[in-house]
Amino acid sequence: MKLRFVLQNNAGVAAVTNAIAEIFAAGKRAEIEVGVWTPKKTDAQRRTIWKWHGEVASQLAELGKAMGHGARWTKDDVHDVVFKPRFMPSKEIIWPDGTVETVPKGLSDPTVTRQDVTDAMTKYLAWIYERGFEVTIPPDPLLETALRCGAERVSVGTQVYAAPRSTSTRGNPNG
């Protein structure tokens, strides 16, 4: 049995102590590791990515209607077809037959760091702007600063910002 605790204050210390006592009561030894907790990704990053996915999905669907086909896009479609394969770091998996395949890591992959996600978001934002799509920039100052470092067109505030439309790649999610 492994238990993991992330504490913000002394209130959780009793829970940790009780868990250790239960292990000892069962006649087992406990292994305890203490350190400073840092999240792999921030909640603000997750919220922003999924907000952008929704906004991009809506615009892709509208573009499809304007072009005469009713292709439907969801947040999950944008995540799986656009975001992960283009902007997330990849990993190699080895199939039972020995075949090696490179696949994108997901946001929930424990090896994905906050910087990996910031880099992916910066590239994603550039992709969004290149296609003339509009997304909402979050009011989170730390996230805005990180994005501004890689995408000059990001401004402070909650307004919607868009780059000039590019007709050559607009509407092609693979472009």
Sorted by where each starts, the structural domains of the chain and their CATH numbers stand as: 1-37 (no CATH), 43-161 (1.10.3790)
Q: What is the mean pLDDT of the chain?
A: 78
- Looking at residues 68-90, what average pLDDT do you find? 91
What pLDDT, in 10s, does the model give residues 107-146? 888 888 888 888 999 999 999 999 999 998 877 655 555 5
Query: In the predicted model, is pLDDT for residue 39 greater than 50?
Result: yes
Angle between helices 141-150 and 114-130 (to 10 degrees): 60
Nearest in space to 140 (alpha carbons), one of 52, 38, 44: 44
Q: Taking the model in full, what pTM does it have?
A: 0.60
